[in-house]
Structure 1
């Protein structure tokens, strides 16, 4: 059964320009993404053509400055675009979020020369990015990463392996965190590595339970040589750059999660109002009505939470705690809502003939990426009670 375009959601958009922007996004979704989403996900097709179209339409650099090809949009608007894309096809919505994450380091910490040289192509020139922090032995404990960059004259030589890289093997550039000094967070630096760099290879994509159209792969850096002009920020500043990017990236995951949950709710309501049992729609039965009401409430609460965090970010105020809360709540809500949607559809929900089983499988990864939800709870608790005592 093909997917349906997401039902319009009442959006809190600040300008007429942003309303026109969302109308453009919905048009692209209805014409180019939704009609083939189910088929392409089942086939494991990576929709590079969708990302190319989004780039041509000015939608891959929305939260960045127009001086370098961005869209000058506040995060409040950008995240609502992500929600729409996530509802249509998570492979695309999450892919845009990852691309934005990969651009963050250069846009926020790069020199004026670096930004002028690289950002236009990254934000609006058809390129697609990936973010390389995790490793086989350092996921949540990112400060213990082992990939090393060694200075050789005016160059750096990078050696090591990165893991769980969204767009691994298909990205045009990678923002890479590597160790340039001693142990711990203070010995890490950030680099911009071209996707075709000599010595950079990708392993076969991971076989996952969901998001089959989005390649996730290990990347091997075998003496990859890049110039010092591709180091972003100061030596040893990389971990701080990574944490800054993750605060924003977590909001992207939260928005995508709300999108998936909304798509599942729409499907559940459509089915419940049309499915007759005992002579009337199953939506008439109180057990199901209450379930739908709880699903809708979780979605509205999650949307309000990520938008509140986005407005703090747009105002230049601290938002790290709220970003962790939004990521935690929205992704847990998506898992619950999609599971309930499968239950509403009963046996049909357990088949691939309806998209809710795919939504449930996709929702699970959102509780894991960009910091597991257990890590989010630790972040929130640290804001409340300070660091853990040893």
Structure 2
């Protein structure tokens, strides 16, 4: 209230204007109006796909996991079902037999399959994020019309880059291709090729001019019946149902029309596609870790010691909480890399981070899951130990952990130096 004029000794400053109370922009009481969504926000189509793959994984894959692992053989029923359910052409257009869905949809499918069996997941991953993507991105229209319907509906594909002498240095490959009239003749060998035992369609990287170094590397597409020799099938620590074979090419004749992306463009194709493929591996490792977590944690609330469930002891609670944090961080990194790729933004560093961290989390969480289940977890009966065996490959294929760290470091150096 203003003072009475009789009591004023000196002029009184004008009263301050009252300001309207406006909620602060970061107040939790104000709804977000930016239109931005969380990384857990999915389209209706993506959510429906997740639920569909979850059902397929439980109904078709789960009953076959142990036998496939023991026999080191993929069940043909699973391959057939993945094609029938549209999971082998997720991003391919409908007119070419695909589902015409988003890249994140492919990541979701890979993640959900890995929760039940990482072997099935990586088969779907390589087929979608490597083989199909190469053809959708670099093949001409005639090649797309010929090959993509087959890859969407019935024929499994594989990506043939690695060789005995070229692992992390993938472009030191020795496989050669020479022009012979309207054909190319390929000689050499490949190693560690996923899906190769069951595959019908092969993307083969060979050097057409070694004097040009990596600029001579060219991508060819071939079929098994052209004379591709499936050699040694590896006996592995994990993902045993996923075939990993060596391949031999002895005067393999491939029509000139089967060059993908142009002569000498193989390096560009491989380096760009592997960046994308690393998000797929991150999704596989994420799903694997979540699968182990989902199997082991309920057991900790059923098993009682000293009169209480072991999951209610503080030491166990802290371990479970830590694992949940690691899972969520890997999930956010993986989804973020996927969305960046979809938006056409640079994602190489984020893909490397997601792949590196998800593989670390997969090993950590699956290892702890065994310990949480105790002696039962160490047996093959529960299937928990399989997740740990399967997890180790995540730090090796499609770029080792050291290669991912090197990639990340280069981006940091470029930013700060």
Could you tell me the TM-score, scaled by structure 2's length?
0.87
SS of the equivalent of 2:91 reads: coil
Question: Counterpart of 2:5?
Answer: none
Task: Identify the match of residue 291 of structure 1 among 307, 319, 326.
Answer: 319
Question: Counterpart of 1:273?
Answer: 301
Question: Counterpart of 2:107?
Answer: 79
**Does the CA contact (< 8 Å) of 1:13 and 1:19 recur in 2?**
no
**Does the CA contact (< 8 Å) of 2:230 and 2:246 recur in 1?**
yes
2: CA distance, partners of 1:197 / 1:171: 13
Residue 240 in 1 paired to residue 279 in 2? no
SS of the equivalent of 2:229 reads: strand
Question: Counterpart of 2:351?
Answer: 323
Q: Superposition pairs for residues 136-285 of structure 1, below 5 Å?
A: 136-183=164-211, 184-198=213-227, 200-285=228-313
Question: Counterpart of 1:306?
Answer: 334
Residue 99 in 1 paired to residue 135 in 2? no
Task: Identify the match of residue 146 of structure 2 among 117, 136, 157.
Answer: 117
- Displacement of 1:48 in angstroms is 2.5
**Does the CA contact (< 8 Å) of 1:132 and 1:175 recur in 2?**
yes
SS of the equivalent of 2:171 reads: helix
Question: Counterpart of 2:60?
Answer: 32
2: CA distance, partners of 1:336 / 1:19: 28
- Displacement of 1:11 in angstroms is 8.9
Question: Counterpart of 1:364?
Answer: 392
Question: Counterpart of 2:137?
Answer: 108
- Displacement of 1:179 in angstroms is 0.5
2: CA distance, partners of 1:111 / 1:359: 40
2: CA distance, partners of 1:23 / 1:354: 24
1: CA distance, partners of 2:40 / 2:97: 25
Question: Counterpart of 1:4?
Answer: none
Deviates more, 1:40-49 or 1:349-358: 40-49
**Does the CA contact (< 8 Å) of 2:64 and 2:75 recur in 1?**
no
SS of the equivalent of 1:143 reads: coil
1: CA distance, partners of 2:406 / 2:334: 19
- Displacement of 1:248 in angstroms is 1.1
2: CA distance, partners of 1:78 / 1:289: 33
1: CA distance, partners of 2:279 / 2:71: 29
- Displacement of 1:107 in angstroms is 1.2
- Displacement of 1:13 in angstroms is 5.2
- Displacement of 1:306 in angstroms is 0.7
Deviates more, 1:339-348 or 1:327-336: 339-348
- Displacement of 1:19 in angstroms is 2.5
2: CA distance, partners of 1:224 / 1:133: 16
2: CA distance, partners of 1:128 / 1:11: 31
Question: Counterpart of 1:7?
Answer: none
Question: Counterpart of 1:15?
Answer: 43
Unaligned ranges ≥5, structure 1: 1-9
**Does the CA contact (< 8 Å) of 1:62 and 1:72 recur in 2?**
yes
Question: Counterpart of 2:381?
Answer: 353
1: CA distance, partners of 2:104 / 2:198: 29
- Between the two proteins, the alignment pairs up a number of residues equal to 376
CA root-mean-square deviation = 1.6
2: CA distance, partners of 1:197 / 1:92: 27
Unaligned ranges ≥5, structure 2: 1-37
Deviates more, 1:49-58 or 1:292-301: 49-58
1: CA distance, partners of 2:145 / 2:123: 24
Deviates more, 1:129-138 or 1:97-106: 97-106
1: CA distance, partners of 2:173 / 2:249: 14
Question: Counterpart of 2:371?
Answer: 343
Deviations along 1:53-75, one digit per CA (max 9) or x if unpaired, are 11111111112322322222222
Deviations along 1:100-150, one digit per CA (max 9) or x if unpaired, are 112222111011111111111112x21101110000010000111000111
